């Protein structure tokens, strides 16, 4: 029997409607999702908690401002949170699930350096915009290694070693240096950067000492350092290890035998370190919540604004790792809005075409290798003991240091040519 024309038209219209719904871009959604992967359990859980707080705050700010501007309307932003348990394979599985099953086209994360390396590989297999929010090894930036849609908003771990070694050699002028580093991706990168600079100073005798991540006997490791008889001890321990090293060094009296210089310090470490163990320790920090006395007024203003916003939400100052986490969310949203798309490659290209933005560290700019270059890469902070700390806006325990120096943003980053571009 021949179908009626009206019936045929209805079938065709229904099919067109179904196809349009299936193929509809993200702009037709009610919610835009981003994946968030941090080490919420394990040796860096205290750091990851601060990172997650920053993500929650950024999403709240975006949504209270109306949401993500796509397709002529505002769409609410939602986070899909995952705990990688400090395991690369867990992080990879979370990434795959988020992209394939949870409707995520942008993922951010990384508390420890080996996680972004794994997620970068995952971004090649299951394309998504990936923003690493912790210090990463230089390998991540290499042409051919980096996924086409990978970004790193904090910077390179080897930069930490290079800037630390430079400050130590030029300002502290030691004769003998021991460098204690954790035996995993972050430590390897820091040690590589540290050696690349310290070797240029033949007047300095140095030695690298390794300890396992999550070491239970750091006193033994520090005894090996002591036997080397250094006049400066550079420490790159991370997470709970960082405070454990400083506490053990204080109890052993190492601060009386050598200057202590922590190469990558966070507020979270200070909260778990004995106040007496912080006195006169030099701390290299990605950012510090108290910019009192720093000469760049624009940076001080931007920093203070972020501190006030975070403190209002959580009643405490923000940790340095909250800065990349908060602004990674903002940059993902900016990428979507500039591209007017949630397509990963279009978002990436939108940021490369519009690379300049401003955050708590002042002006920042995306580079061709996916690295973010800041006006200042990091700050040198001199630690305070309990007698020197004062209560002000926050409890005195947060007044654990004073900024004494800063490093310019691109001074110690590998050149694009060195990375194969």
Query: Domains in the chain, please, with CATH?
Result: 26-154+303-375 (3.40.50.2300), 158-285 (3.40.50.2300)
Query: How far is Cα 213 from Cα 193, in angstroms, rounded to an integer?
Result: 19
Q: Are 242 and 262 in contact (CB under 8 A)?
A: yes
Give the three-state DSSP class for 139. helix
Name the pTM for this structure: 0.90
Q: Strands 372-374, 401-408: parallel, antiparallel or unpaired by DSSP? A: unpaired
* Torsion sign across C-alpha atoms 333, 334, 339, 345: negative
Cβ atoms within 10 A of the Cβ of 21, count?
A: 9
3-class secondary structure, 415: coil
Q: Are 402 and 384 in contact (CB under 8 A)?
A: yes
C-alpha angle 199/201/204, rounded to 5°?
95
CB 266 within 8 A of CB 241: no
Token output for 320: 């340095």
d(CA 35, CA 109): 8
> What was the pLDDT predicted at 77?
98
Instruction: State how far Cα 67 lies from the chain centre.
Output: 24
The pLDDT value given to residue 21? 39
For residue 211, the SS3 value is strand
Q: How many residues in total does the chain contain?
A: 421
3-state secondary structure of 321: coil
- Residue 152 CA to chain centroid, in angstroms? 8
Phi, psi of 360, deg, nearest 5 = -70, -15
> What are the E-state strand segments in 173-327?
176-182, 205-211, 232-235, 259-262, 282-285
383 neighbors 401 (Cβ within 8 angstroms) = yes
Quickly list DSSP for 383-410: E--GGG---SSS-GGG--EEEEEEEESS
Residues 130, 203: Cα–Cα separation, whole Å: 43
Per-residue model confidence (pLDDT) at position 316: 96
Residues (pLDDT < 70) of the chain are 1-29
Asked if 104 and 98 touch (Cβ cutoff 8 Å), the reply is yes
Is residue 316 within 8 Å of 296, Cβ to Cβ? no
Predicted confidence at residue 19, as pLDDT, reads: 40
CA distance 116 to 110: 5
Break the chain down into helix, strand, coil percent, rounded to 5: 45, 20, 35
The single residue listed with the structure tokens 């270059």 is 373
């Amino acid at each position: 029997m021949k179908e009626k024309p009206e019936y045929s038209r209805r079938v065709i219209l229904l099919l067109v409607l179904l196809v349009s719904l299936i193929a509809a871009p993200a702009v037709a959604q009610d919610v835009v999702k981003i994946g968030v992967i941090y080490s919420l359990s394990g040796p860096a859980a205290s750091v990851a908690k601060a990172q997650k707080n920053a993500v929650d705050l950024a999403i709240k700010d975006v949504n209270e401002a109306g949401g993500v501007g796509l397709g002529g309307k505002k769409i609410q932003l939602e986070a899909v949170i995952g705990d990688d348990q400090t395991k690369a394979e867990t992080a990879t599985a979370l990434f795959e699930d988020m992209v394939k099953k949870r409707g995520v086209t942008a993922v951010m994360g990384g508390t420890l350096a080996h996680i972004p390396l794994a997620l970068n590989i995952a971004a090649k297999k299951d394309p998504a915009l990936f923003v690493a929010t912790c210090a990463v090894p230089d390998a991540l930036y290499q042409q051919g290694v980096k996924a086409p849609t990978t970004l790193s908003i904090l910077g390179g771990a080897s930069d930490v070693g290079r800037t630390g070694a430079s400050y130590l050699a030029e300002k502290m002028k030691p004769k003998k240096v021991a460098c204690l580093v954790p035996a995993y991706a972050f430590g390897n990168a820091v040690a590589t950067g540290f050696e690349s600079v310290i070797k240029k100073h033949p007047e300095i005798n140095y030695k690298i000492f390794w300890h396992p991540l999550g070491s239970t006997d750091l006193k033994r490791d520090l005894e090996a350092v002591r036997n080397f008889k250094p006049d400066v001890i550079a420490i790159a321990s991370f997470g709970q290890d960082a405070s454990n090293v400083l506490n053990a060094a204080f109890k052993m009296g190492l601060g009386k035998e050598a200057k202590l210089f922590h190469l990558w310090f966070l507020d979270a470490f200070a909260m778990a370190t004995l106040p007496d163990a912080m006195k006169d320790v030099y701390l290299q920090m990605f950012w510090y919540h108290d910019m009192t006395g720093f000469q760049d007024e624009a940076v001080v203003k931007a920093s203070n604004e972020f501190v006030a916003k975070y403190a209002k939400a959580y009643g405490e100052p923000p940790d340095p790792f909250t800065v990349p986490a908060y602004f990674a969310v903002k940059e993902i949203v900016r990428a979507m809005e500039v591209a007017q798309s949630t397509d990963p490659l279009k978002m990436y290209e939108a940021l490369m075409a519009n690379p300049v933005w401003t955050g708590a560290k002042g002006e920042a700019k995306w580079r061709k290798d996916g690295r973010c270059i800041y006006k200042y890469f990091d700050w040198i902070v001199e630690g305070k003991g309990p007698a020197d700390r004062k209560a002000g806006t926050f409890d005195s325990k947060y007044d654990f240091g004073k900024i004494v120096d800063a490093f310019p943003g691109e001074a110690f980053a590998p050149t694009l040519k060195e990375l194969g571009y």
